Amino acid sequence: MLFSLILDADHAHGGGFLSEYWSILTDPAHVAVEVTLMIVLDGLLLGLLWPLIRTYVNSKLHAQHEVFDLEHGIHHHDDHIHFDPDVIHPSTEHPDHD
């Protein structure tokens, strides 16, 4: 459907659409402007928005990690981890408890 609309517009304007499209596509100045705009806009979006997105995702993951650690009796101390045996094996199931 789109192709037939393009061809109809092309015939109605005496070869205007496709010839204009091809001239824009092959114009080095136009391509350079498009690349420049992509670099600038992508740079702005990534430079401004990515730190905000990364901070939000990291805070959500950190909160989930803390909940998981609490549920499983895991305590972080600098470079090592402690496990609470009563959380892993409650006193009724703990192998060392009578």
Q: Which residue has the higher pLDDT, 70 or 36?
A: 36
Per-domain boundaries in the chain: 2-88
Residue-wise pLDDT tens digits, 6-29? 666 656 556 678 888 888 889 999
Contact predicate 84/92, CB 8 Å: no
Choose the weakest-confidence range: 1-10, 30-39, 67-76: 1-10
pLDDT in tens, 41-62: 888 888 888 899 999 999 999 9
- Report how far apart, in Å, the C-alpha atoms of 27 and of each of 13, 21, 24, 80 are: 21, 10, 5, 61
Tell me the two tokens of residue 45: 């979006």
Q: Which position has the higher pLDDT, 10 or 84?
A: 84
